[in-house]
Amino acid sequence: MDLKDILNDAPVHIKKEFIYRRHKKGSLIIHPHEKNNYLYILTTGKAEVYRQSYAGAMVSLYIYNSYSCFGEIEIFNEKIKTIGVIAKQNCETIAIHKTKVYEWIKIDFNFNYYIIKQLASKLTLSSDTAAQLSLLTVKDRTLLSIHNHYKIGDLDNLTKKILSREVCAPIRSLNRSISQLINEGLINYKDKKLSINSIEEIEKHLENFSLN
């Protein structure tokens, strides 16, 4: 069964707890670095999710279309903080509190099976992405991380210390990469703040090693 059929067949007392929301294009459906207690089911539109890979870099991992879900990883591990999920189009979602998700799993094999498949799929994709990242240079990993922080809207909060951890490189190597990117006219660094000169030029450059 697909997710739409599973939703339609959900127990009545579970459906009563559904929270219906609308999200404008470009808005954050889930804000990064927060605690999440909800499973989100996208029923209309398209969304994109960013997360930190096992290799340390911030990368865009998933594009969600209608009748797909996200947030399931956090509700099964309280130590994991959220990552940014952005509405690429006008979207509609159903939010379900984790207590109701657990209850639904207990009584509906099809829903339980769907959630397990989602978790397994994302684990595999994350591992593959980490392997691809290991083949990139420090400069390319730096640019990729800067780009994705820009996309999730927290570039102003990105420090060299955070960036060094994300790209798995010492500050000396990071500084060299930042200097190269500045010389190429892709970014600026002033008053301890990183900024992007042209998002179009950066995305054109990133096409050469797309991880999506």
Q: Sketch the domain layout of the chain as residue ranges.
A: 3-133, 138-209
Least confident of 82-86, 91-95, 197-201: 82-86
Confidence of residue 67 (pLDDT cuts 50, 70, 90): very high
For residue 137, give every residue at least 6 positions away whose Cβ sits within 8 Å of its Cβ, in sequence order, or none: 177
DSSP code string of 121-151: HHHHHHHHHHHHHTTS-HHHHHHHHHHHHHH
Higher pLDDT, 129 or 22: 22
pTM score of the predicted model: 0.60
pLDDT for 46: 92
In tens, the pLDDT along 156-172 reads 888 898 888 778 789 99
| Cβ atoms within 10 Å of 161's Cβ, excluding its own | 10
56 pLDDT band (50/70/90 cuts)? very low
Enter the CATH code of domain 138-209: 1.10.10.10
CA-CA distance, 95 to 147, in Å (whole number)? 29
Superfamily of domain 3-133: Jelly Rolls (2.60.120.10)
Question: How many Å apart are CA 132 and CA 60, to the nearest integer?
Answer: 13
